[in-house]
């Protein structure tokens, strides 16, 4: 994996190290993860998580069905 060099203000560097330590990671891993989140295409993992949460909620519509008009009425 290639290495890069960045320049940071001393206080930002200290704050970043404290944050990384508090979250049980390294500053390097923190920066890599943040960069990855910003530049990688958005995944649909959040959608799968939403469906899992709905399944765990054990909610019921008690057979109620909605029409398209009801769903889109504000």
Identify which has the larger pLDDT, 14 or 36. Answer: 14
Q: If you average pLDDT over each of 14-23, 38-47, 48-57, which comes out highest?
A: 14-23
Identify which has the larger pLDDT, 2 or 17. Answer: 17
Q: Considering the entire predicted model, what is its pTM? A: 0.52
Is residue 2 a part of any domain in this protein?
no
Is residue 40 a part of any domain in this protein?
yes
Is residue 38 a part of any domain in this protein?
yes
pLDDT at 74: 64
Percent above pLDDT 90 for the chain = 49
- Which residues form the domain of 45? 10-59
Is residue 39 a part of any domain in this protein?
yes
Is residue 64 a part of any domain in this protein?
no
Is residue 43 a part of any domain in this protein?
yes
pLDDT at 47: 86
Is residue 45 a part of any domain in this protein?
yes
The torsion angles phi and psi of 65, rounded to 5 degrees, stand at -120, 140
Number of domains in the chain: 1
Compute the C-alpha angle 2/24/12, nearest 5°.
65
């Amino acid at each position: 994996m290639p290495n890069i060099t960045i320049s940071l203000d001393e206080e930002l560097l200290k704050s970043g190290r404290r944050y990384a330590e508090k979250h049980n990671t390294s500053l390097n891993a923190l920066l890599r993860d943040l960069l990855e989140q910003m530049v990688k295409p958005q995944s649909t993992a959040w959608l799968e998580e939403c469906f899992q949460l709905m399944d765990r909620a054990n909610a019921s519509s008690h057979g109620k069905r909605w029409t398209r008009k009801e769903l889109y009425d504000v």
